[in-house]
A and B are shown apart, each in its own frame.
Chain A
Amino acid sequence: MEFKDKLLDTYIAFEEELGPKDSIQKLRSQALKTFENHGFPSKKQEAWKYTSLNSLLQSDYLLFPKSEKAVELNQIKHAFLYEIDTYKVVFIDGVHSPFLSDTTHDGLDVCLLSAALSKPKYKKLIDTYFGSVADNHESMTALNTTYAREGAYIYIPPSVVAEKPIEIIHLSTGDQGAVWLQPRNLIVVDRNAQVQIVERHQSLKEHRVVTNCVTEIFAHQEALVDYYKIQNDLDSASLIDNTYIAQDKNSHVSVHTFSFGGKITRNNLNFYQNGEHINSTLKGITLLQEKQHVDHYTLVHHAQPNCESHQDYKGIFSDRSVGVFNGKILVDKIAQKTNAFQQNNNIILDDKAKVNTKPQLEIFADDVRCSHGCTIGQLNQEALFYLRSRGIPKKEAKALMTYAFANNVLESVQIPTLKKKINKLIANKLGVNLGFDL
């Protein structure tokens, strides 16, 4: 049986198991139909031209791994910002781990989507938000919606500033063979509220795992959201990340994506601006080796006047790694005075590495500032000689230049501990022991 058929056939039993308390039953069955009609995306579709999921669909996956395995804290410490105090929502093989988590209902909600989907007191909220910004006509998102039942649920009430960052960590143990995980996160940041969130998917040992994750973020007026995605998984893990962000007037949302590992990673990142004076920031560092493949597919929809968006993605590619960047900026006719900036710069370190980069601007307003630039190049040889002539060995000189190339993406990271951690990850990836943040 093909994996798609399995996904379709499993639904009846899944629906029965959830029972009548499920708040999103209708949405699920619609989504199932979408997935049934469209199936998995293929390279024939323009949006998936450079990324094939075929290699992932050859085998069978366990859809609902059993409940929590015991995991030693020491074994997973590296996946956390353990130096500072944070709220944590942690899942092991898709199942919530109360032992590793640090949730709260005190002044803000940092808890589980499963609770929000089944408890009556959340019903109004779920009806308002769940699935309302995610594109359910997109088949991977539809597939996630069909089976969505666990993930993080975060609600920040008006004018509340979350005093510590929130970590959403999905761990995969590999104890149950190949697994297909579909976490679903719902994040609502009310008027004038502020929050910082770090999301990470991490395998604990080499095994086949595909994560098809959907995150919906709602930023109300004057809200401030900083979201960080750390993608540094093992080479046996793949991730299809679908993030949808709806912004009201005067809100600021930034998403930083650090893609340093994994087999195939696809980041669908969608911003919808629904008010004036909105600021959206999309930044990323992609640093790949071996046969790793990362595809950034971004959309910023400017639907109201006087808004800004800033995109800055840096990519560094070694060995046979592949990078894709497709950045779409859509400016509606009414969205005058839009200021949209997009930049994608890439460095290729080996002949066999590959980058496909494509800006896509659709502008229907006539009074806008939209700029975009893509570059693909190599490390500047003259600069490399300059550094080496000062006694810095070739490998370190290359690392220093690579770091310098990507550095301005890190400048806007608001959590110092996270910045340090990313610095260290970059140094590790480049195989050097350099303290970059001097």
Chain B
Amino acid sequence: MLTIENLHAEIEEKGILNGIDLDVKAGEVHAIMGPNGSGKSTLSSVIAGNEDYEVTQGSVLFGGEDIHEMSPEERAHRGIFLSFQYPVEIPGVSVTNFIKTALNAQRKAAGEEDMPAAAMLKKIREKSSLLGIDSKFLSRSLNQGFSGGEKKRNEIFQMAMIEPKLAILDETDSGLDIDALKIVADGVNALKTPNNATIVITHYQRLLDYIIPDFVHVLYNGKIVKSGTKELAKELEAKGYDWIKKEVAG
């Protein structure tokens, strides 16, 4: 589904990614871990098409298509979804209005008509209850004044509505207490099918107790320095990142 080869990217002429290789197939869950500043968020931004970053080498193929020249919306239309580490506050746009606009934009891009209002409402009800979101929340301005947990829950709600092929969860666990973490993880797991894939980006192993990865990769200095199974995450939790750093240096 997603094939990344030798990806280099920089921001303001500062190299952040220095040759990433990653292959994600349908039905798989990949976790990307690593110390702060290793390039985890940059990788997710680059896949989603953030124009602040410049790709200087390598390629990203999605469904066999090179997405280098694609705008963020074109990538979204093809099925890429990024759950933001810091969802942006947009005063004046309600959660409901936003998700309707997004969903209908996706449908339009696929050559479909707008979703009928009743069907939209039903879907919103269904997906919001899956994530324990009440209806008052839906009429609030997008992310404005939301707690950390509400913001993340809202991201997963959007993911549930959009039903992407590839979901990238960027530090979705940060700012969540254990109850919220469970709700979010349950939501993600409920959306799992053999046809979609998930990349979980996290600093801590905690989330991986609830969203079980098939593969774990360690990102350090803009490169994947180690890959393994979920056992690797446990090892990182127990030993920290220093041994990886030493291994790379040695």
- Please give the residue numbers on chain A whose beta carbons come within 8 Å of chain B beta carbons, in ascending order: 380-383, 385-394, 396-397, 400-401, 403-408, 434, 436, 438
Contact B76 A390, beta carbon cutoff 8 Å: yes
From 67 to 124 in chain B, residues with beta carbon under 8 angstroms from any chain A beta carbon are: 71-73, 75-77, 81-82, 84, 87-94, 96-98, 100-103, 105-106, 109
The winner among A387, A401, A407 for most chain B CB atoms within 10 A is A387
Contact B105 A393, beta carbon cutoff 8 Å: yes
Contact B88 A380, beta carbon cutoff 8 Å: yes
Taking CB atoms, residues of chain A closer than 8 Å to B222 are none
Expressed in whole angstroms, the Cα–Cα distance for A146 and B46 within the complex equals 66
Could you list 19 examples of A-B contacts with CB < 8 Å? A383-B89, A385-B51, A385-B52, A386-B84, A388-B73, A388-B76, A389-B48, A389-B72, A391-B77, A391-B109, A392-B101, A392-B102, A393-B73, A393-B105, A404-B90, A404-B93, A405-B92, A407-B92, A438-B94
Contact B92 A389, beta carbon cutoff 8 Å: no
Which residue of chain B lies nearest to A388 when distances are taken between CB atoms in the complex?
A: B72
The winner among B73, B82, B89, B106 for most chain A CB atoms within 10 A is B73
The verdict on A385 contacting B72 (CB below 8 Å), with A391-B109, A404-B90 known, is yes
Inter-chain contact count A-B, CB under 8 Å? Answer: 83
The verdict on A390 contacting B102 (CB below 8 Å), with A385-B72, A438-B97 known, is yes
The winner among B72, B89, B97 for most chain A CB atoms within 10 A is B72
Q: Mark B28-70, 1 if CB is under 8 A from A, else 0.
A: 0000000000000000000011111000000000000000000
Known: A389-B82, A389-B84. 15 other contacts (CB 8 A): A381-B52, A385-B51, A387-B102, A388-B71, A388-B73, A389-B50, A390-B158, A391-B103, A391-B106, A391-B109, A392-B73, A392-B101, A392-B102, A394-B71, A407-B92
- Please give the residue numbers on chain B whose beta carbons come within 8 Å of chain A beta carbons, in ascending order: 48-52, 71-73, 75-77, 81-82, 84, 87-94, 96-98, 100-103, 105-106, 109, 158, 162
Taking CB atoms, residues of chain A closer than 8 Å to B93 are 400-401, 403-404
Taking CB atoms, residues of chain B closer than 8 Å to A381 are 52
Which residue of chain A lies nearest to B82 when distances are taken between CB atoms in the complex?
A: A389
CB distance from B38 to the nearest CB of A (A): 22
CB distance from B151 to the nearest CB of A (A): 12
Task: Identify A394's interface contact among B48, B73, B106, CB under 8 A.
Answer: B73
The winner among A386, A389, A407 for most chain B CB atoms within 10 A is A389
Expressed in whole angstroms, the Cα–Cα distance for A386 and B96 within the complex equals 16
Task: Identify B87's interface contact among A386, A388, A391, A408, CB under 8 A.
Answer: A386
The verdict on A438 contacting B48 (CB below 8 Å), with A391-B106, A392-B102, A404-B90 known, is no
The verdict on A404 contacting B91 (CB below 8 Å), with A390-B102, A392-B102, A438-B96 known, is yes
The verdict on A391 contacting B76 (CB below 8 Å), with A385-B50, A396-B105, A434-B101 known, is yes
Q: Please name the 4 residue pairs, one residue from A and one from B, whose CB atoms are nearest each other, closest first.
A: A404-B92, A391-B76, A407-B92, A388-B72
Task: Identify A396's interface contact among B52, B88, B101, B103, CB under 8 A.
Answer: B101
Taking CB atoms, residues of chain A closer than 8 Å to B50 are 385, 389
Contact A390 B48, beta carbon cutoff 8 Å: no
Contact A391 B92, beta carbon cutoff 8 Å: no
Expressed in whole angstroms, the Cα–Cα distance for A404 and B140 within the complex equals 13
Taking CB atoms, residues of chain A closer than 8 Å to B96 are 438
Taking CB atoms, residues of chain B closer than 8 Å to A401 are 90, 93
Task: Identify B49's interface contact among A389, A397, A405, A408, CB under 8 A.
Answer: A389
Contact B76 A386, beta carbon cutoff 8 Å: no
Expressed in whole angstroms, the Cα–Cα distance for A387 and B72 within the complex equals 9
The winner among A382, A403, A406, A438 for most chain B CB atoms within 10 A is A438
Expressed in whole angstroms, the Cα–Cα distance for A216 and B99 within the complex equals 46
Expressed in whole angstroms, the Cα–Cα distance for A17 and B102 within the complex equals 63
Contact B82 A391, beta carbon cutoff 8 Å: no
The verdict on A408 contacting B92 (CB below 8 Å), with A389-B49, A390-B162, A392-B105 known, is yes
Which residue of chain A lies nearest to B83 when distances are taken between CB atoms in the complex?
A: A389
Taking CB atoms, residues of chain B closer than 8 Å to A434 are 101
Which residue of chain A lies nearest to B92 when distances are taken between CB atoms in the complex?
A: A404
Expressed in whole angstroms, the Cα–Cα distance for A279 and B50 within the complex equals 47
Task: Identify A438's interface contact among B71, B75, B89, B100, CB under 8 A.
Answer: B100
Taking CB atoms, residues of chain B closer than 8 Å to A405 are 92
The verdict on A383 contacting B88 (CB below 8 Å), with A388-B72, A391-B76 known, is yes
Task: Identify B105's interface contact among A391, A403, A436, CB under 8 A.
Answer: A391
Which residue of chain B lies nearest to A411 when distances are taken between CB atoms in the complex?
A: B92
Taking CB atoms, residues of chain A closer than 8 Å to B102 are 387, 390-392
The winner among B52, B94, B98 for most chain A CB atoms within 10 A is B98
Taking CB atoms, residues of chain B closer than 8 Å to A392 are 73, 101-102, 105
Expressed in whole angstroms, the Cα–Cα distance for A388 and B98 within the complex equals 11
Taking CB atoms, residues of chain A closer than 8 Å to B87 are 386
Taking CB atoms, residues of chain A closer than 8 Å to B92 are 403-408
Taking CB atoms, residues of chain B closer than 8 Å to A406 are 92
Which residue of chain A lies nearest to B168 when distances are taken between CB atoms in the complex?
A: A389
Taking CB atoms, residues of chain B closer than 8 Å to A380 are 88
CB distance from A29 to the nearest CB of B (A): 51
Taking CB atoms, residues of chain B closer than 8 Å to A385 are 50-52, 72
Taking CB atoms, residues of chain A closer than 8 Å to B73 are 388-389, 391-394, 397
Expressed in whole angstroms, the Cα–Cα distance for A389 and B51 within the complex equals 11
CB distance from B173 to the nearest CB of A (A): 20
Expressed in whole angstroms, the Cα–Cα distance for A401 and B101 within the complex equals 12
Taking CB atoms, residues of chain A closer than 8 Å to B72 are 385, 388-389
Taking CB atoms, residues of chain A closer than 8 Å to B81 are 389-390
CB distance from A275 to the nearest CB of B (A): 35
CB distance from B76 to the nearest CB of A (A): 4
Taking CB atoms, residues of chain A closer than 8 Å to B98 are 387, 390, 400
Taking CB atoms, residues of chain A closer than 8 Å to B48 are 389
Expressed in whole angstroms, the Cα–Cα distance for A407 and B92 within the complex equals 6
Taking CB atoms, residues of chain B closer than 8 Å to A383 are 88-90
Task: Identify B88's interface contact among A382, A394, A400, CB under 8 A.
Answer: A382
